[in-house]
């Protein structure tokens, strides 16, 4: 049985997908997993493949959710993104990394889409 935190994460990702659709994104994949890691949402925005990391917080106790996408996390997302592009034969496509930050205040989610949140990261 999923924990409360896991359920909150799943609900946040579902809400993020709905929010992205409202802003012109076409959802291609959700929870795309490989041996290297996972990407929450893969979407298309105009002619660009967008790899989206969703971060949600119920309070600011642990800081702003958009700041939780560390360099280590960026590197993992980058590796999975490169694998996705290779597997789908999309190596020449335009791509970017966005973050959807969700702050839940009084049971109401507040969304922020950060386009081009980070560049391809590898070590």
Q: What average pLDDT does this structure show over 71-75?
A: 93
In a domain, 90, yes or no: yes
Is 24 a domain residue?
Answer: yes
Q: What is the CATH number of the domain that holds 32?
A: 3.40.1350.10
Question: What is the CB-side half-sphere exposure of residue 20 using CA atoms within 13 A?
Answer: 32
Domain membership flag for residue 109: yes
Distance CA 17, CA 24 (A): 11
**pLDDT tops 90 at residue 65:** no
The answer, yes or no, to whether residue 111 has pLDDT greater than 90, is: yes
pLDDT of residue 45: 97
Q: What is the pLDDT of residue 121?
A: 78
**Into how many domains does the chain fold?**
1
Q: Report how far apart, in Å, the C-alpha atoms of 41 and of each of 1, 32, 59, 71, 99 are.
A: 23, 7, 23, 19, 10
Mean pLDDT in the chain? 91
Measured CA to CA, the distance from residue 105 to residue 22 in angstroms comes to: 21
Domain that holds residue 59: 4-118
User: Which residues face 109 on adjacent strands?
Assistant: 104
Residue 40 included in any domain: yes
Q: Is residue 123 in some structural domain?
A: no
């Amino acid at each position: 049985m999923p924990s409360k935190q896991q359920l909150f994460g799943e609900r946040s990702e579902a809400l993020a997908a709905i929010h992205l659709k409202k802003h012109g994104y076409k959802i291609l994949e959700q929870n795309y997993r490989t041996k290297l890691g996972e990407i929450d949402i893969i979407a298309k925005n105009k002619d660009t493949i967008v790899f989206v990391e969703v971060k949600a917080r119920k309070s600011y106790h642990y800081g702003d959710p958009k700041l939780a996408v560390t360099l280590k996390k960026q590197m993992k997302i980058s590796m999975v993104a490169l694998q996705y592009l290779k597997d789908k034969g999309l190596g020449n496509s335009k791509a970017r990394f966005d973050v959807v930050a969700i702050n839940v205040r009084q049971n109401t989610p507040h969304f922020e889409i950060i386009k081009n949140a980070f560049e391809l990261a590898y070590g």
